Copies of this chain bind each other. A is one copy, B any other.
Amino acid sequence: MSTATPSTRPRHGDATRDALLDVAFDQMYAKGYHASGLKDILAASGLTKGALYHHFGSKLELGYAVVEERVLPLVRERYLKPFGQVEDPVAAVDRMGVRMEEELRRKGVLERGCPLNNLVQEMSGVDEGFRRRLESILEEWRSTIASGLRRGQAEGIIDPDSDPDAAATFIVASLLGAVGFAKNARDVVPFHACRGAVNAYAATLRVEAAPLPSS
């Protein structure tokens, strides 16, 4: 109640609830929402149904909580924060890609991909509650990049004719697509290649990068 997370219910120190969320995130990340049974989650957490239904009204609510209290913070901590720490937006985009690739090289991550992207693809078409929550994360991500680009425009680093929103959308979508591709290929190389291309694209947004007037 004191340290409120912006998005949802204020959660103080509730170890059981946290454990549930951790395990649930793990499972849903690895296998998706549908393939994650409550049974497995309970077994893995050493808790019982009573505990789960005490904290969450249903599996769906648990899923929502996973998105809000695990996926969102993760995205913020892992990608948005590093992005904000670099002033040059193009470099910041690179930083973000580097961060993702580092993550991808950790054991087990390549097989599981990106928790956000996984849920987006599996759940967006199935459940509106999921869709909205995931959309807001994507939007936050996108707008963070867009803001950076706009700041760059203001500072004269970024081409004022470029469209920061469109570019940010593209960068997010491409990175997600790249992770998905790498996950399917079980290989980091595709991601690395994509990252290079994203950087190349981002570089074209620079002021000096557009020497010729467009047709």
Produce 1/0 per residue, A174-187, CB < 8 A to B. Answer: 11111011011110
- A3 sits at the interface (CB 8 A): no
Produce 1/0 per residue, A117-152, CB < 8 A to B. Answer: 110111011100001001100100000000000000
- A107 sits at the interface (CB 8 A): no
Produce 1/0 per residue, A157-200, CB < 8 A to B. Answer: 00001110111011011111110110111100010011011101
How many copies of this chain does one complex carry?
4
User: Across the interface, which residues of B come within 8 angstroms of A134, CB to CB?
Assistant: 184
Produce 1/0 per residue, A84-121, CB < 8 A to B. Answer: 00000000000000000000000000011100011011
Q: Are A193 and B35 in contact (CB under 8 A)?
A: no
User: Across the interface, which residues of B come within 8 angstroms of A178, CB to CB?
Assistant: 170, 173-174, 177
Q: Are A121 and B113 in contact (CB under 8 A)?
A: yes
- A210 sits at the interface (CB 8 A): yes
Taking CB as reference atom, which chain B residue is nearest A190?
B169
User: Across the interface, which residues of B come within 8 angstroms of A212, CB to CB?
Assistant: 204, 210-211, 214
Given contacts A117-B180, A177-B177, 18 further A-B contacts (CB under 8 A): A120-B121, A121-B121, A121-B183, A122-B122, A124-B183, A125-B183, A134-B184, A138-B184, A166-B194, A166-B215, A173-B174, A173-B178, A174-B177, A210-B211, A211-B212, A211-B214, A212-B214, A213-B215
9 A-B pairs with the lowest CB-CB distances in the bound complex, closest first: A177-B177, A121-B121, A34-B34, A166-B193, A170-B197, A173-B177, A173-B181, A174-B174, A124-B184
